[in-house]
Structure 1
Amino acid sequence: MSMMDKLKQMLRGHESQADQGIDKAGDYVDGKTQGKYSRHMDTAQDKLREQMRRDQGNPPQT
């Protein structure tokens, strides 16, 4: 079992906590870079959320 499979398995049932973690990580990076890369972080956060929904069997939200 790959590391990604293990992570996906651990996140099942904890989607809201994972979503909060994504927000917290993005805020942390924004704080450390003084918002210099906030646009890129927003894109990365959106991609992570989209991937989580896809892995859960839900279509991406548009």
Structure 2
Amino acid sequence: MGIFDKLKNKMSPDKTKGMSDAAEKQVNERTGHKYEDQVDTAQQKAEERFGVDRDRPDRP
């Protein structure tokens, strides 16, 4: 059992979404939104790993 599995079992989906959104916002602010697409992709992969199901609109 890896670290993600341990965290996944301890955290609620709502709390995970909030933390994920906060992390994305902070990273985007610190990088001047220069890597917004990469940060969004990383957030999606992390949420998938934690089992967070979120409908995301496609970006243009």
Q: TM-score, normalised by structure 2?
A: 0.71
Q: Does 1:51 align with 2:58?
A: no
- Indicate the RMSD between aligned Cα atoms, in angstroms: 2.4
Identity %: 31
Tell me which structure has the larger Cα radius of gyration: 1
Unaligned runs of 5+ in 1: none
Q: TM-score, normalised by structure 1?
A: 0.69
Runs of 4+ off more than 2 Å: 1-6
Unaligned runs of 5+ in 2: none
Alignment partner, residue 41 of structure 1: 39
Q: Which has the higher contact order (CA 8 A, sep 6+)?
A: 2
